[in-house]
Amino acid sequence: MSNTQKPAIVIVHGSYHTPAPYGPFMNALNALGFETHCPQRPKSDLSKLNVGNDLNAPNFHNAPPPEGFPTDDDDVAVLRQVLDQLIVQEGKQVLLVAHSSGGWAATQVAVLEFQYKARQAQSQNGGLIGIFYYSAFAIPLNQSINGYFQPKDGSFTIPPWLRFWKHGAAGVGTLVDAPKFMFNGLDAVEAEKWTVTLTAAPINTGVLTNDAYATLPCAYLQLGEDYILPKEYQEAMVMEQKQLGNEFTVYYAPTGHSAHLTWTEPLAKNVAEFVGKVKP
């Protein structure tokens, strides 16, 4: 890969999503000259959640599949396939862009074997040059998303934007009033357009075992009007990593959780700016 060629960007989407709402963001990145990818995470894939044969009318009361729901590790496996193709097979530099719970999967998959500096030391081409988080769960090493955000007294809290069905937390969750919580900042027609693309997901219990914060350049775009992950939580996660000596480039946007739709072009420009900062 030449030094003038831009890295490929792999977007790791949030829970309850398909790649569809990230399409406008991918288009904005494409317009800036970036190749983009956004693979479907199995944990949010209705076809894998035992919700009936008609995915346009899913039954969220159903029990988990006999083999169990897809796991956080299954999400990572899908991302590994994409990174193997782009980095190992094609020798490309890659930036991970992580949204919401995609932060855990992006951090977990960003192992040394994929990282640019480690590969360069072995005379191999390509590699991960960094992770750009926006309103993402940049949780500490050895913790899960669920464990990090639940009360430490053992009780279980359900946020106001989440609903569980017949099987409770052992089943799938879906979003409540997505136009208000997930898509604030969009007009009613646009919010409804993207609401119908949402899916479901089981809770995230996978434990983070890869400390990519310490070995890759990281950035975090903090969203000031986020009703899913309030800015205080975003700020606290970044501060926790900084206190461990891990550097984060911090950006800020006065918008809601779905910045890929409400802050599309500025978000793409923030990503491009970070690429310019960290690209070898």
The model's pLDDT over 96-109, given as tens digits with 9 standing for 90+, comes to 999 999 999 999 99
DSSP β-bridge partners for residue 223: 253
pLDDT at residue 208 is higher than 80 = yes
pLDDT of residue 2: 47
Q: Is the pLDDT of residue 154 over 90?
A: no
Q: What pLDDT, on the 0 to 100 scale, is given for residue 1?
A: 44
Mean pLDDT of the chain: 96
Mean pLDDT of 104-125: 97
- Distance between CA 203 and CA 147 in Å, rounded? 10
Check pLDDT > 90 for residue 179: yes
70, 135, 77: which is closest to 102 by C-alpha?
A: 135
Could you tell me where the DSSP H helices lie in the chain? 23-31, 72-83, 102-109, 116-121, 145-149, 178-181, 188-195, 231-243, 259-262, 264-278
195 — pLDDT class (breaks 50, 70, 90) = very high
Q: Across residues 174-185, what is the average pLDDT? A: 97
**Intra-chain end-to-end CA distance of the chain, in Å:** 11
Q: How far is CA 99 from the centre of its chain?
A: 3
Q: Residues of the chain with pLDDT > 70: what percent?
A: 99
pLDDT tens readout for residues 2-46:
456 899 999 999 999 999 999 999 999 999 999 999 999 999 999
Amino acid, res. 252: Y
Task: Label residues 35-51 b or e (16+ Cβ within 10 Å = b).
Answer: bbbbebbbbbbbebbbb
Find tokens 């169990």 and name the residue.
68
The domains found in the chain, sorted by start residue, are 8-278 (3.40.50.1820)
| Angle between helices 102-109 and 72-83 in degrees, nearest 10 | 50
Q: What is the pLDDT of residues 67-96, one digit of tens each?
A: 999 999 999 999 999 999 999 999 999 999
- Position 67 scores a pLDDT of 95
Percent of the chain with pLDDT over 90: 96
What radius of gyration, in Å, describes the C-alpha atoms of the chain? 18
pTM: 0.97
What pLDDT sits at residue 3? 54
The region that residue 79 occupies, defined by phi over 0 for left and psi between -120 and 50 for alpha, beta otherwise, is: alpha
88-97 confidence digits (pLDDT tens)? 999 999 999 9
Token pair belonging to 27 = 């288009």
Could you tell me how many residues make up the chain?
Answer: 280
Structure tokens of 204?
């995230």
Of the two residues 3 and 246, the one the predictor is more confident about is: 246
Please give the average per-residue pLDDT across 54-75, as a whole number.
96
